[in-house]
Amino acid sequence: MRRNGTLALLFHGAFIVYILAPILVVCAVAFTSKGYLSLPTDGLSLRWFRAIAANRDFVDAFWSSLWLGTMSATIAIGLSVPAALAIARYRFVGRDAITTLFQAPLMIPPAVLGIAFLRFFTQAGISGTFIGLVLSHVVIITPFAIRLVLSASTGMDPQIEHAAISLGASALAAFRRVTLPMILPGVVSGWVLAFITSFDEVTMTVFIASPRTTTLPVRLFLYIQDNIDPLVAAVSAALIALTVVAMIILDRTYGLDRLLVGRGSD
């Protein structure tokens, strides 16, 4: 910034505007009083936000997505922590193959995964169930979780944990009081990224969701196929507001700088 001066400032300002403009337009459209997408609008109204509360399909889909993301991210982190510690600490036959296996879902198109899960769950008798959704989401979000936990575990000196054990701590106590605090930024950031990925997933989920287990992204996708009104913009604006509030709470309780440190080492 000191070298480039005004030119760098203008470039960064234009870039920020380019990134935020679609979000601001969606939020502005959400407050229109008209029954169709309109910008600029004659007046501001909370009409479409009240319509969200009156639409049980969207409310139920939101809670389904929230529980799905929470359960999937928690299971993914539970699998990622021991796997990441084993990969980071030990050299064994098949180590690279296991690492590649965990990252494999990233290389498969979501539509292909959706068709594969649909066929598998149908044969297993759990097609259209919440359990099936959780299992499928665990598969696709585990690569994100394990990558961040692995980045926090790599380079950690195992002698610190051995020292705790030599002083009388059990293996579980050493993990809980020594190892886990050291990798906690990677664990928390991995959980958050896994939750966001699960909550936002639509391409794969549309193949395996049922009317009883429809998530919010799928509900929005189905809604815009038959309707053109500001309700979708209002839902998007509400999600943006909830995200901002969640980030503020997370920053006050844990610290976003620690999350950035956990991801910055990747």
CATH of the domain at 220: 1.10.3720.10
Instruction: Give the pLDDT of residue 81.
Output: 92
Instruction: Give the pLDDT of residue 222.
Output: 87
Instruction: Give the pLDDT of residue 79.
Output: 92
Q: How far apart are CA 117 and CA 133, in angstroms?
A: 9
Quick one: which of 124, 127, 114 has its CA closest to 211? 127
pTM value is 0.83
Instruction: Give the pLDDT of residue 255.
Output: 67
Token pair, residue 136, equals 């499928």
Q: How far apart are CA 84 and CA 90, in angstroms?
A: 10
Instruction: Give the pLDDT of residue 36.
Output: 77
Is there a contact between 133 and 209 (Cβ–Cβ < 8 Å)?
Answer: yes
Q: How far apart are CA 102 and CA 40, in angstroms?
A: 48
DSSP strands (E only) in the chain: none
Does residue 39 lie within any of the structural domains? Answer: no
The parent domain of residue 223 ranges over 55-264
Instruction: Give the pLDDT of residue 263.
Output: 44
Using only the alpha carbons of the chain, give its radius of gyration.
Answer: 22
Does residue 31 lie within any of the structural domains? Answer: no
Does residue 155 lie within any of the structural domains? Answer: yes
Q: How far apart are CA 126 and CA 168, in angstroms?
A: 47
Q: How far apart are CA 209 and CA 132, in angstroms?
A: 9
Does residue 194 lie within any of the structural domains? Answer: yes
Q: Given the structure tokens 């910055």, which residue do they identify?
A: 264
Token pair, residue 41, equals 């609008």
Number of domains in the chain: 1
Does residue 23 lie within any of the structural domains? Answer: no
Ordered per-residue pLDDT tens for the chain, 266 residues: 556 667 778 888 899 989 888 888 888 888 888 877 777 777 778 888 888 888 888 899 999 999 999 999 999 999 999 989 888 888 888 888 888 888 889 899 999 999 999 999 999 888 888 999 999 999 999 999 999 898 888 877 777 878 888 888 888 888 888 888 888 888 988 998 999 999 999 999 999 988 888 899 999 888 888 888 888 888 988 888 888 888 888 777 766 666 555 444 44
Instruction: Give the pLDDT of residue 153.
Output: 84
Token pair, residue 46, equals 């909370």
Does residue 137 lie within any of the structural domains? Answer: yes
Does residue 220 lie within any of the structural domains? Answer: yes
Does residue 46 lie within any of the structural domains? Answer: no
